[in-house]
């Protein structure tokens, strides 16, 4: 019997709305991710202040990410995502107005970063869970590939566009003499428009029924605790979450602070250099996403060994940034690490989604996102302070070598090595 033809998830009207709105919003996010660090550096000239702003955004995100996953499992992910995106649009819109008016000050930046971090703590688990409500289970993998591909494409296109917008809009602002004020306002304004487009698409989505079991009707914190117990009881899943947390702490923070400082102090194109570096990394992730399936098949089920081997190579590439004085060389190194990260990302997320029960999806994804989006920026505050005590090359070398060391040492762990391995046949 011939196998039935595969139907693309894009044939589903509601998924097209989620995909289109999410793609536009992801592209807009890149403008803020480039503009916000640049704004802080232009206002203060301090890497420590940049690390503190990133930590201010990360604190509520870290504190409420697990609560957000429990709320999503209890309530409608559609409703939670709508409210979270609306709050984000309001806050970034306010930031746009303040920058254009020349009224932006660091206390306002801290307050807005705090609000943005809080709203994203609910938006990320809501978005990943809403996908499972709109797409049949047999189409989840191609749907996830499309969503991740759109995000990676935004990482490829968005930072370069943001750097171009900031650079071409450079002008001294009479209110506080800050360079690039007009370009920064334009970048934040584009992100505000992207949120408006995403909200319009979400309002048109109709979730017709919910065949998934919901979290028990108990306290939110009890739901969080139950989710953590379930993850802890799953030895391979627990091992990977702990590994991801260690990588985020030792690598994520130094990169978030180090790349803007590298572009500002050692490269030749300023904000455009930062955009090019981030674009190269996003382009690499896009290519890695396309290669993920083929590489995973070559690994023959040894997903854990594949991840650890790839991360050990990525660490060496990141350490090489310590000697970089060229935008082109930095872009090549970050493109290489992006390819490796893209291969790992899709393979691991697909493994987790196949492994976890639907009723636990929101909480599990919130824990995964917490390890990167919560812990990484917190370590950025420490990295910003360390730059007062050590040179930038030492920060990059330490971060890259730490990743390689962690990955190689974890190869002795049977739980991590065995991730993705087929279960033994019954006797």
**In the chain, where the domains are located:** 11-205+231-417
Please return the burial class of 360, using the count of CB atoms within 10 Å of its CB with bins 0-12, 13-18 and 19+: buried
Residue count (the chain): 427
The CA–CA distances, whole Å, from 153 to 22, 48, 289 equal 12, 31, 10
What is the second-level CATH architecture of the domain 11-205+231-417?
Answer: Up-down Bundle (1.20)
Residue range 394-415: mean pLDDT, rounded: 86
pLDDT in tens, 159-198: 778 878 887 765 444 344 455 677 888 889 999 999 999 8
Residue range 312-333: mean pLDDT, rounded: 85
Full-prediction pTM beyond 0.85?
no
Q: What is the pLDDT of residue 147?
A: 81
Q: What is the pLDDT of residue 144?
A: 73
pLDDT in tens, 340-377: 888 888 778 777 877 877 677 777 877 777 777 667 66
Q: What is the pLDDT of residue 216?
A: 53
Q: What is the pLDDT of residue 211?
A: 46
Mean pLDDT of the chain: 78
Q: What is the pLDDT of residue 61?
A: 76
pLDDT in tens, 201-239: 888 888 765 544 555 556 667 777 877 888 888 888 888
Q: What is the pLDDT of residue 93?
A: 92
Question: Is the Cβ–Cβ distance between 207 and 78 less than 8 Å?
Answer: yes
- The pair of structure tokens assigned to 212 is 């998934």
Q: What whole-number percentage of the chain has pLDDT above 70?
A: 87
* Integer Cα distance of 405 and 276 in angstroms: 28
């Amino acid at each position: 019997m011939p196998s039935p033809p595969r139907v693309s998830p894009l044939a589903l009207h509601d998924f097209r709305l989620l995909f289109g709105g999410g793609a536009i919003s992801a592209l807009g996010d890149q403008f803020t991710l480039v503009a916000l660090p640049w704004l802080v550096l232009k206002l203060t000239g301090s890497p420590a202040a940049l690390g503190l702003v990133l930590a201010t955004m990360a604190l509520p995100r870290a504190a409420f990410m697990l609560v957000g996953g429990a709320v999503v499992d209890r309530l409608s992910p559609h409703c939670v995502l709508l409210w979270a995106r609306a709050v984000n649009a309001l806050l970034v819109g306010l930031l746009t107005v303040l920058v254009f008016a020349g009224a932006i000050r660091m206390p306002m930046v801290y307050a807005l970063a705090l609000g943005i971090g809080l709203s994203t703590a609910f938006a990320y688990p809501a978005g990943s869970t809403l996908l499972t409500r709109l797409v049949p289970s047999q189409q989840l993998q191609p749907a996830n590939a499309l969503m991740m591909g759109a995000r990676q494409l935004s990482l490829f296109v968005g930072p370069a566009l943001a750097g171009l917008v900031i650079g071409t809009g450079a002008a001294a602002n009479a209110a506080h003499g800050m360079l690039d004020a007009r370009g920064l306002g334009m970048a934040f304004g584009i992100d505000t428009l992207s949120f408006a487009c995403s909200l319009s698409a979400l309002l048109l989505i109709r979730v017709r029924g919910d065949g998934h079991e919901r979290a028990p009707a108990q306290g939110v914190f009890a739901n969080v605790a139950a989710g953590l117990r379930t993850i802890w009881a799953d030895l391979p899943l627990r091992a990977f979450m702990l590994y991801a947390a260690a990588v985020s702490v030792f690598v994520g923070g130094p990169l978030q602070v180090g790349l803007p400082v590298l572009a500002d102090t050692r490269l030749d194109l300023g904000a455009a250099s930062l955009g090019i570096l981030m674009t190269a990394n996003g382009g690499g992730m896009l290519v890695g996403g396309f290669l993920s399936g083929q590489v995973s098949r070559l690994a023959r089920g040894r997903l854990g060994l594949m991840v650890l081997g790839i991360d050990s190579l990525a660490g060496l590439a990141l350490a090489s940034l310590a000697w970089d004085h060229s935008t082109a060389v930095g872009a090549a190194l970050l493109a290489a690490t992006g390819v490796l990260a893209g291969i790992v990302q899709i393979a691991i997320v697909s493994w987790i989604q196949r492994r976890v029960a639907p009723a636990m999806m929101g909480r599990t994804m919130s824990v995964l996102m917490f390890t990167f989006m919560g812990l990484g920026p917190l370590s950025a505050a420490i990295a910003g302070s360390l730059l007062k005590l050590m040179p930038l090359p030492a920060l990059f070398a330490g971060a890259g070598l730490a990743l390689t060391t962690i990955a190689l040492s974890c190869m002795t762990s049977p739980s991590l090595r065995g991730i993705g391995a087929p279960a033994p046949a019954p006797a």
